[in-house]
């Protein structure tokens, strides 16, 4: 089980190193779910002394008045061997073997943050102690609760300390070491008041009674220690720390512990309780309790780690892969991104993603509507027919059939189909262009590289422009073809007599009577409508062939061919990622690594249970 606690310590250290110490904006969750022990009590109640005796070392600033002015996060690590040393997080790689210097550094580091006044600060000091004489624990020493501000302190200090202490002990995974001095009335104990507030059922509060040796003669703490004065779920533990006089005389810790043991063993009132009194017992109890708590927390921590890993992986996926360093890698990355974009683009056209259906709408609705708006019947009004027929005859009126007139009437009608044909070409082009925008936005890899995004967009638009021109040529050619050669059969099948008309004896302007002209108009209209119906079918084919099919086949062909000719530097400039994203990715990857190793370690512990 030692390994379990050391795993927790490892996780906490790793989180701390990543700035993950449960503060806002960091990842508070992992830190929050791991148990810690916070020492809470009124000023000078003996908090630092209790901590020191658990550790078995003199290293904390102590004395009367307000001494602890910043939270101290203390991690104890049990190690093999003889040597003992301490390390501060703000002084990495500096090992303190002289614990007197540790005390001085705590004082100096406190002053650095708060000045030499009596101000307090919520910014914690992180200290790790490595020793063969400790159990693995994480303890937090907090500034003592007070009732009034003393000189040099703002009036808010009372509430500030309370809030700071509360912020640590209200977390459900915090084990509260509530320190009350035996020489004060328990009813006035700040520690009990505060712990009751955040842990009303006393499920995570350990009552510690200090200064038992300082009680008035004739009084004792048996009622408290036996849980009769204030019942907690766990038994009260009495402590006799070193007095200020002992400290001044440099009474060492080992001697102090021995004396404490003797005190409980030899004082008649406490003899029967001696086996569960004292600092050493407190250390053991805490370690045992912590083990149990961690055991119960493993599934929660596991699911938290798994959830965080999934979130980190999700965000890393969204940010995309990092860029390869060499030209080949870069080229590969670009081609791969283009392939993904191209695939998404095709999916839009093929109906896997929306948008492609708009092309059909052009052919099914827009083109027919535009053709209808041409109003051939109006163009072939009697007046127009008469005008064109007579003009086409020139000085020599036709003899049998107005061949030239027919041709002119038909050509002048059919040529107007160029307009709708042209518009259909443009409409489909606009749709294809719009789908490029869509596909670009839906290609996450392109979000990563703004320059490549622009290049891919431009290359696609250039290709589409080329395709549009091809399509325009081909489509207009279809219309022109219809103008250039008329379907002879259509006319051959017409009843011959209708072609006879006009009276050559009359003037050129009234040679043709209305019914003759009407018949010509009707014939031409029938022919034009037949051609129009046929173009209505063939224009879409031409457009799809030249634009849609080509866009699917070769949208980025030209771009990719040119890409192969580029130098590494040019390729690199296309992959000029936002530096903020690169930093974020690196930070996420580092964090992911931490969580993965945490996952592996905790899984190993969980399986070996
Ligand atoms: N005789 C005796 N003196 C004690 C005991 N516990 C603490 N003291 C003395 O009480 C004084 C305050 O002890 P600290 O451990 O500094 O108390 P603290 O709660 O950490 O104080 P702040 O951090 O200032 O709030 C010191 O002079 C200690 O020597 C005890 O059990 N017996």
Residue 416: the pLDDT is 95
Q: Identify the weakest region by mean pLDDT among 207-211, 438-442, 541-545, 598-602.
A: 598-602
**What is the reported pLDDT for 532?**
96
- CA-CA distance, 341 to 519, in Å (whole number)? 58
Protein residue with least CA distance to atom 9, ligand 1: 243
CA of 181 to the centre of ligand 1 (A): 9
Query: Rg of the chain over CA atoms, in angstroms?
Result: 46
3-state secondary structure string across 48-81: HHHHHHHHCCCCCCCCCCCCCCCCEEEEEEECCC
Pick the residue whose CA is nearest to atom 13 on ligand 1.
46
Q: Which atom of ligand 1 is nearest to the CA of 43?
A: 25
CA of 221 to the centre of ligand 1 (A): 18
Model confidence at 173, in pLDDT bands (50, 70, 90)?
Answer: confident
Question: From ligand 1's centre to the CA of 243, what distance in Å?
Answer: 7
Measure the CA–CA gap between 31 and 428, rounded to whole angstroms. Answer: 57
Residue 28, pLDDT > 50, answer: no
pLDDT for the residue numbered 512: 66
> Counting atoms of ligand 1 from 1, which one is nearest the CA of 182?
31
> What's the burial of 309, exposed, middle or buried (CB within 10 Å: 0-12/13-18/19+)?
middle
> Looking at residues 224-232, what average pLDDT do you find?
89
Mutate to test the pocket of ligand 1, among 38, 39, 46 (most ligand atoms within 8 A of CB): 46
For ligand 1, atom 4, name the residue with the nearest CA. 243
Centre of ligand 1 from the C-alpha of residue 66, in Å: 11
Residue 511 has pLDDT above 60, yes or no: no
Report domain extents, the chain: 2-317+597-608, 327-577
Measure the CA–CA gap between 216 and 267, rounded to whole angstroms.
Answer: 14
**Residue 6 confidence (pLDDT) above 70:** no
List all residues 6 or more positions away from 255 whose beta carbon is below 8 Å from its beta carbon.
Answer: none
Question: Between helices 279-319 and 47-55, what is the axis angle to 10°?
Answer: 90
Whole-angstrom Cα distance, residue 582 to residue 316? 11
Ligand 1 center from residue 250 Cα (angstroms)? 15
CA distances from 57 to 68, 118, 134, 288 (A): 17, 26, 10, 21
pTM of the predicted structure, to 2 decimals? 0.53
Question: Which residues, in sequence order, are CB contacts of 3 under 8 Å at separation 6+?
Answer: 605
205-210 sheet: strands from edge to edge:
85-88, 125-131, 72-78, 137-141, 36-41, 174-181, 205-210, 237-238
Say what the alpha-carbon torsion angle 493, 494, 496, 497 is, to the nearest 10 degrees.
160
Give the DSSP H or E segment for 291. helix 279-319
- Residue of the CA atom closest to atom 3 of ligand 1: 243
Distance 47 CA to ligand 1 centre (A): 7
Instruction: Give yes or no for a contact between 175 and 38, defined as CB atoms under 8 angstroms apart.
Output: yes
Q: Is pLDDT of 198 > 90?
A: yes
Most informative mutation of 53, 60, 164, 243 for ligand 1 (most atoms within 8 A of CB): 243
Ligand 1 center to 558 CA (angstroms): 81
63 Cα–ligand 1 center, Å: 7
Lowest mean pLDDT among 59-68, 101-110, 417-426, 447-456: 59-68
Least confident of 15-29, 243-257, 475-489: 15-29
**What CATH number belongs to 327-577?**
1.20.120.1240
Q: Report the pLDDT value the prediction gives residue 19, as an integer from 0 to 100.
A: 52
Place of tokens 């869509």: 438
- Ligand 1, closest atom to CA 62? 16
CA–centroid distance, 129 to ligand 1, in Å, is 21
User: Atom 21, ligand 1: which residue's CA is nearest?
Assistant: 44
Q: Can you give the pLDDT at residue 150? A: 75
Query: What pLDDT is recorded for position 595?
Result: 81
The best mutation among 45, 53, 62 to test binding of ligand 1, ranked by most ligand atoms within 8 Å of the C-beta, falls on 62
The arithmetic mean of pLDDT across residues 154-170, rounded, is 89
Q: If you average pLDDT over every residue of the chain, what do you get?
A: 85
pLDDT at 182 over 90: yes
Report the percentage of the chain scoring pLDDT > 70: 89
In this structure, what are the phi and psi dihedrals at residue 176, rounded to the nearest 5 degrees?
-100, 125
pLDDT at 502 over 70: no
Pocket lined around ligand 1, Cβ cut-off 6 Å: 41, 43-49, 62-64, 66-68, 144, 210-211, 213-214, 239-244, 247
Superfamily classification of domain 2-317+597-608: P-loop containing nucleotide triphosphate hydrolases (3.40.50.300)
Over residues 373-429, the pLDDT tens digits come to 998 988 899 889 989 988 888 888 887 778 889 999 999 999 999 999 999 999 999
């Amino acid at each position: 089980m030692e390994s379990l606690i050391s795993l927790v310590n490892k996780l906490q250290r790793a989180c701390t190193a990543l700035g993950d110490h449960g503060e806002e904006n960091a990842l508070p969750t992992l830190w929050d779910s791991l148990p810690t022990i916070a020492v809470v009590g009124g000023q000078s109640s003996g908090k630092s002394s209790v901590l020191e005796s658990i550790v078995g070392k003199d290293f904390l600033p102590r004395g009367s008045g307000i001494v602890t002015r910043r939270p101290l996060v203390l991690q104890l690590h049990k190690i093999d061997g003889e040597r003992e040393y301490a390390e501060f997080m703000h002084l990495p790689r500096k090992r303190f073997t002289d614990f007197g210097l540790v005390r001085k550094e705590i004082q100096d580091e406190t002053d650095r943050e708060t000045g030499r006044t009596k101000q307090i600060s919520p910014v914690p000091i992180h200290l790790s102690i490595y020793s063969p004489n400790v159990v693995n624990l994480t303890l937090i020493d907090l500034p003592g609760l007070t009732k009034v501000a003393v000189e040099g302190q703002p009036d808010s200090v009372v509430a500030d300390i309370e809030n700071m202490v509360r912020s640590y002990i209200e977390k459900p995974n915090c084990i509260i070491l509530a320190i009350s001095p035996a020489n004060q009335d328990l009813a006035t104990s700040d520690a009990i008041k505060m712990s009751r507030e955040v842990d009303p059922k006393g499920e995570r509060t350990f009552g510690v009674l200090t200064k038992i040796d300082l009680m008035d003669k004739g009084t004792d703490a048996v009622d408290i220690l036996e849980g009769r004065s204030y019942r907690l779920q766990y038994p009260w533990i009495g402590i006799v720390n070193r007095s200020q006089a002992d400290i001044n005389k440099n009474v060492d810790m080992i001697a102090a512990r021995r004396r404490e043991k003797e005190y409980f063993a030899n004082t008649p009132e406490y003899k029967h309780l001696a086996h569960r009194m004292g600092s050493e017992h407190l250390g053991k109890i805490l370690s045992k309790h912590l083990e149990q708590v961690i055991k119960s927390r493993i599934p929660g921590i596991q699911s938290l780690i798994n959830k965080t890993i999934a979130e980190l992986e999700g965000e890393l996926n969204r940010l995309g892969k990092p860029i390869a360093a060499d030209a080949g890698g870069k080229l590969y990355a670009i081609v791969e991104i283009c392939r993904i974009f191209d695939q998404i683009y095709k999916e839009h056209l093929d109906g896997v993603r929306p948008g492609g259906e708009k092309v059909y709408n052009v052919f099914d609705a827009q083109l027919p509507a535009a053709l209808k708006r041409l109003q051939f019947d109006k163009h072939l009004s009697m007046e127009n027919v008469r005008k064109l027929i007579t003009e086409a005859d020139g000085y020599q009126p036709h003899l049998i059939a107005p061949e030239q007139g027919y041709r002119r009437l038909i050509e002048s009608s059919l040529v107007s189909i160029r307009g709708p044909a042209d518009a259909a070409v443009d409409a489909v082009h606009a749709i294809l262009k719009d789908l490029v925008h869509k596909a670009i936005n839906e290609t996450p890899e392109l979000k990563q590289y703004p320059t490549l995004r622009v290049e891919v967009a431009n290359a696609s638009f250039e290709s589409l422009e080329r395709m549009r021109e091809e399509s325009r040529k081909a489509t207009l050619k279809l219309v022109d073809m219809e103008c250039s050669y008329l379907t002879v059969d259509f006319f051959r099948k017409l009843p011959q007599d209708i072609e006879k008309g006009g009276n050559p004896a009359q003037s050129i302007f009234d040679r043709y009577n209305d019914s003759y002209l009407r018949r010509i108009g009707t014939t031409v209209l029938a022919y034009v409508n037949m051609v129009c119906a046929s173009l209505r079918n063939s224009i879409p084919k031409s457009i799809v062939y030249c634009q849609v099919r080509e866009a699917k086949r070769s949208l980025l062909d030209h771009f990719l061919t040119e890409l192969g000719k580029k130098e590494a530097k040019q390729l690199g400039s296309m992959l000029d990622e936002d530096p903020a994203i690169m930093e974020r990715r690196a930070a996420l990857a580092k964090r992911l690594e931490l969580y993965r190793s945490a996952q592996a370690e905790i899984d190993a512990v969980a399986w070996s249970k």
